[in-house]
Amino acid sequence: MSVALCAFVFVSGAQAQSDTGAVEFVARITPTAARPEPVRQFTFFILTKSYVDIVKEVEEKDPAPQRDQFIDGLKVSPELRTWLKDHDTLDLTQLDLDKLLTPDDILNTPEFLLAYQRTNSGGVTMGFPQPKFSEVDQTEHPEKYKKLREDYFTALRKFIRKRPETISGVEMELDAVNPQKKWQVLQNDRRKRIQRVAPDLAQIKFLAAKADTDLEGRAAVSGLAPGDYWVSTLNLDADAGDMRVRWDVPVRIERGKTVRIELSNLNSIDAHGSTP
């Protein structure tokens, strides 16, 4: 009976082992104009779902802010909101802003008009038109105010068309109303949330195993049920010289077999432009 029991245990163990598979891998990074270097003592994760797809799942649950909705919430003039929606930019302090502005943009948008006036007033620009009306005239002499204001805008429009170079520099006066800063904060906050949530979700819901590489950059994982897996570094960077990379490499595990793969620059993800 003892012999039979031992035989049963041996057969059961062999059967269980044959029902699973294994993966062996070696990770090396090749810096520019240098030899490949092993990725030593680095943790790799065996996932049941691509980490890239996991990140997409997190992004779908935490969608990016809508540009138009963001603009609608800005505390600026309606004219500036319309201008922002019509132009592919939110940065009012970019150096080439003057190339995007027309005389009508400046005259019809309060923020642009004030910035243009500040840039060219105080004797900075010779011949710059000066208004001949005051806010007092608006209540005490409305007709006069209206006429003088129309004359001023006509003169200003002619001046801008004659001296388009005077638009240059208005971006320096728009920092206080520049929506780009707030937009970047929203984008960065969302990116940080994804960077925090995605690795946790990967390990809680899709982690099959993990292994640390040795000094030669090698590691092995056994006891994996047949199916599709991904050898991943999650959002962690492996580096060597001037190279920083991540991996999210698919591998198919078959019953009773060991799959061997090489992780290199060729099947890596550039960490500088990779998924969070």
Q: Largest Cα–Cα distance of the chain, in whole Å?
A: 117
Task: Check whether 11 has a pLDDT greater than 90.
Answer: no
Residues ≥6 apart with Cβ < 8 Å to 229:
23, 46, 47, 48, 208, 250, 251, 252, 253
Write the CATH number for 58. 2.60.40.10
Residue 223: per-residue pLDDT: 97
Q: Do residues 247 and 263 lie in contact, with contact meaning Cβ atoms separated by under 8 Å?
A: yes
Mean pLDDT taken over the chain: 90
Q: Cα separations (Å) of 49 from 57, 75, 203, 264?
A: 11, 43, 11, 20
231 burial type by CB count under 10 A (0-12 exposed, 13-18 middle, 19+ buried): buried
- How would residue 276 be classed by pLDDT, with cut points 50, 70 and 90? low
Shared domain check, 254 and 201: yes
Whether the CB-CB separation of 241 and 37 falls below 8 Å is answered with yes
CA distance 236 to 233: 6
Average pLDDT of the residues in 76-100: 94
Between CA 247 and CA 237 the distance in angstroms is 9
The answer to whether position 229 is within a domain reads yes
Lowest mean pLDDT among 12-26, 94-108, 195-209, 225-239: 12-26
Residue-wise pLDDT for 189-222, tens only, equals 999 999 999 999 999 999 999 999 999 999 999 9
Where is pLDDT greater, at 131 or 161? Answer: 161
The answer to whether 22 and 258 have CB atoms below 8 angstroms apart is: yes
**Which residues touch 245 (CB under 8 Å, ≥6 apart)?**
29, 237, 238, 239, 265, 268, 269, 270, 271
Q: Are residues 174 and 227 in the same domain?
A: no
In a domain, 173, yes or no: yes
| Phi, psi of 92, rounded to the nearest 5 degrees | -85, 0
What's the rounded mean pLDDT across residues 113-137?
A: 88
Question: Is 242 part of any domain?
Answer: yes
Q: How many CB atoms lie within 10 A of CB 134?
A: 11
Residues 201 and 233 in one domain: yes
Same domain, 223 and 205: yes
Query: Quick one: 53 and 134 in the same domain?
Result: no
Residues 50, 131 within the same domain: no
Q: How many CB atoms lie within 10 A of CB 51?
A: 26
pTM: 0.74
Euclidean distance between CA atoms 208 and 45, whole angstroms: 8
The yes-or-no verdict on residue 131 having pLDDT over 90 is no
- From residue 166, how far is each of 104, 112, 117, 129, 189 by CA, in Å? 14, 13, 10, 12, 38
Q: Are strands 21-29 and 37-38 parallel, antiparallel or unpaired?
A: antiparallel
Domain boundary (145, 178, 211) is at 178
How many structural domains comprise the chain? 2
Q: Provide the residue range defining the domain that includes 118.
A: 75-178
R_g of the chain, CA atoms, integer Å = 32
